[in-house]
Amino acid sequence: MRRGDWKLLVNPVDTSFEYSRESTTLTDIFLVNLRDDPAETASVHADHPDIVAELLAIRDAYIADLQSAGKFEPPAQ
């Protein structure tokens, strides 16, 4: 997800030829400031836990909203 200059990826998968899909060299969270690193070369998640927490909270709220949007409650009888 993106917010301002920040981009957060959760569970990124490396598809390059250097690593297998089960690579243990990748972390579960990839955070980048696109203004500072437009090529997205390195995650700065460890340096900005506050930004990670904020973006994860927004993502979780969005997912919860999507999940509840399709639920149908029949009228009371």
Question: pLDDT tens digit string along 20-32?
Answer: 445 444 468 899 9
In angstroms, rounded to a whole number, what is the distance separating the alpha carbons of residues 22 and 30?
16
Phi first, then psi: give them for residue 7, nearest 5 degrees: -130, 130
- What pLDDT does 43 receive? 94
> Which single residue is written with the structure tokens 């969005």?
62
pLDDT at 39: 95
Residue 13's pLDDT band, with cuts at 50, 70 and 90, is: low
| 56 Cβ contact partners less than 8 Å away, ≥ 6 residues apart | 8, 10
The full set of domain ranges for the chain reads: 2-67
The owner of tokens 């900005």 is 48
What is the per-residue pLDDT for 66? 78
| CATH architecture assigned to 2-67 | 2-Layer Sandwich (3.30)
Give the 3-state secondary structure of residue 65. Answer: helix
26-62: pLDDT as tens digits: 468 899 999 999 999 999 999 999 999 999 999 888 8
